[in-house]
């Protein structure tokens, strides 16, 4: 309960949560809106927020409104939720239900794509304004009786090369060592402004991966010092770095989903809206850069989760369109309705489970 009390005692945390979650959902719905508009589909309502309307204006045939609850939003296209078309002032050509499958698939994909594009834009902006932080391959703590300690490696040694291959960042070190197969490796290190070579025999040892799983790998028993080098990037390099970081987050998210499905990662790690709110509040206290990095990560997750082939999600609609394109006829409406009801129940159950996990974390 401390988290709830803390959140509402800090107005800036509440604002950050509303801006991040509300903003990302708005961007998602804006993607759908722009896709509908680009091919001439009529829009009945574009709502920021859910629930009762607290303000609205009608422009042309579309009502733009702000609803009471900021966590959500929707775009109601003609023929999407109701068969009324001409009765509400639109033409049959403007109805989404009369569009071919490939166009409906494009409309569904536009929302998740907007979220992935947002993550790329954030990573690009941060790379351009703050540069790229590179963790240097400098030795920090050494494990007792480890190969590195036995070979004479010392704290603050800077690893310059391994087996003649230049090393510029810490992330390269564990990959090179793990791929060694246990053979003796020559580490070229810089100590007191002088280079020297050290021979080290890697050993198989347990380690925890990013998902908290224990795995066996070839290691030498060192940890990073934590020294960072900031490298300034031009605009073109920032665009490329944005793509790289976005792709890394996509792979990380998909790998995490796969591990949850297969059971290699505990279901207890699933977090819900309370955990997300807590994370946003904490990162808001750490500054705008930390908050933007978390926003990009949430945006990637929101985009990918909506692409899952679960009826009621965008991915489910895309799946129906793909089936229609293959069998050359629409999936029966009754079957779609039943599958969407099943999908809704699944999402509700998942939300309840995730919220239960959030609550249980307070008592651990």
pLDDT tens readout for residues 6-31: 544 467 777 888 888 889 999 999 99
Distance CA 294, CA 24 (A): 12
Whether the per-residue pLDDT at 359 is higher than 60: the answer is yes
- Residue 213's nearest CA partner among 263, 270, 172 is 263
Kindly state the tokens that stand for 228.
């960072």
**Model pLDDT, residue 266:** 67
The pLDDT, as a whole number, for residue 209 is: 79
Q: Is residue 358 over pLDDT 80? A: no
What percent of the chain shows pLDDT beyond 70?
A: 94
Q: Is 29 part of the annotated catalytic residue set?
A: yes
Q: Does 3 have pLDDT greater than 60?
A: no
CA 67 to chain centre: 26
DSSP 88: G
Contact 305, 314 (CB under 8 A): no
Q: What pLDDT is stored for residue 22 in this prediction?
A: 86
**Residue 165 confidence (pLDDT) above 80:** yes
* Residue 22 to residue 89: CA distance in whole angstroms: 31
Residue ranges of domains in the chain: 101-131+235-361, 134-231
pLDDT above 60: residue 290: yes
Q: What does the alpha-carbon distance between residue 32 and residue 115 come to, in Å, rounded to a whole number?
A: 11
Name the average pLDDT for the chain.
88
Q: Computed over its alpha carbons, how large is the radius of gyration of the chain?
A: 26
pLDDT value of residue 269: 67
Crossing angle of helices 101-130 and 23-38, rounded to 10°: 130
Alpha helix positions (H), 198-264 = 235-262
pLDDT score recorded for residue 265: 65
pLDDT of residue 224: 92
The pLDDT, as a whole number, for residue 7 is 46
Tokens coding 232:
């300034």
Instruction: State yes or no: pLDDT of 305 exceeds 50.
Output: yes
Quick one: residue 195, left, alpha or beta (phi over 0 = left, psi -120 to 50 = alpha)?
beta
* Tokens of residue 29, six digits: 């719905």
Average pLDDT over residues 258-264: 76
Q: CA–CA separation, 350 vs 119, rounded Å?
A: 25
Provide mean pLDDT across the span 160-167.
94
| Inter-residue contact 36 to 80 (CB < 8 Å) | no
Q: What is the pLDDT of residue 346?
A: 87
Looking at the domain that runs over 134-231, which CATH code has it been given? Answer: 2.30.42.10
Q: Whole-angstrom Cα distance, residue 109 to residue 237?
A: 28
3-state secondary structure of 329: coil
| pLDDT at residue number 43 | 94
* Cβ proximity of 77 and 36 under 8 Å: yes
The torsion of the CA quartet 121, 123, 129, 132, rounded to 10 degrees, works out to -150
pLDDT at 317 over 50: yes
Report the C-alpha gap between 195 and 323 in whole angstroms.
63
CA 192 to CA 262: how far, in whole Å?
49
Would you say how long the chain is, in residues?
A: 364
125-143 as b/e, with b when 16 or more CB fall inside 10 Å?
ebbbeebbeeebbbbeebe
Render pLDDT for 84-140 as a digit per residue (tens, 0 to 9). 888 888 999 999 989 999 999 999 999 999 999 999 999 999 999 999 989 999 999
Report the distance separating Cα 140 and Cα 137, nearest Å: 9
Is the model's pLDDT at 151 over the cut of 80? Answer: yes
Could you give the percent of the chain with pLDDT greater than 90? 60
């Amino acid at each position: 309960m401390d988290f709830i009390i803390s959140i509402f005692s800090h107005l800036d945390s509440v604002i950050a949560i509303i801006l991040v979650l509300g903003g990302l959902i708005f961007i998602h719905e804006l993607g759908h809106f722009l896709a509908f508009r680009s091919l001439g589909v009529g829009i009945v309502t574009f709502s920021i927020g859910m629930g009762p309307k607290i303000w609205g204006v009608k422009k042309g045939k579309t009502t733009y409104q702000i609803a009471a609850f900021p966590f959500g939003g929707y775009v109601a296209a003609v023929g999407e939720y109701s068969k009324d078309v001409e009765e509400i002032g639109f033409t049959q050509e403007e109805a989404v239900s009369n569009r071919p499958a490939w166009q409906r698939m494009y409309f569904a994909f536009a929302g998740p794509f907007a979220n992935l594009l947002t993550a790329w834009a954030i990573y690009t902006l941060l790379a351009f304004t703050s540069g790229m932080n590179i963790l240097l391959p400098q030795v920090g703590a050494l494990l007792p009786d480890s190969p590195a300690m036995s070979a004479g490696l010392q704290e603050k040694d800077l690893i310059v090369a391994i087996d003649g291959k230049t090393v510029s960042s810490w992330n390269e070190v564990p990959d090179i060592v793990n791929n060694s197969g246990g053979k003796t490796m020559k580490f070229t290190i810089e100590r007191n402004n002088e280079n020297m070579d050290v021979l080290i025999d890697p050993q198989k040892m347990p380690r925890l991966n990013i998902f908290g799983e224990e795995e066996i790998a070839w290691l030498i028993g060192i940890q990073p010092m934590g020294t960072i080098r900031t490298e300034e990037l031009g605009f073109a390099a920032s665009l490329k770095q944005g793509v790289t970081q976005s792709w890394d987050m996509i792979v990380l998210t998909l790998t995490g989903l796969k591990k949850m499905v297969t059971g290699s990662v505990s279901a207890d790690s699933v977090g819900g809206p309370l955990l997300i709110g807590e994370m946003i509040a904490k990162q808001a206290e750490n500054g705008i850069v930390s908050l933007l990095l978390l926003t990009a990560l949430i945006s990637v997750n929101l985009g990918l989760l909506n692409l899952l082939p679960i009826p009621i999600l965008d991915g489910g609609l895309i799946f129906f369109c793909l089936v229609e394109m293959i069998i050359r006829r629409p999936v029966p409406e009754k079957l779609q309705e039943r599958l969407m009801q099943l999908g809704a129940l699944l999402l509700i159950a998942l939300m309840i489970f995730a919220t239960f996990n959030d609550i249980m974390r307070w008592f651990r």
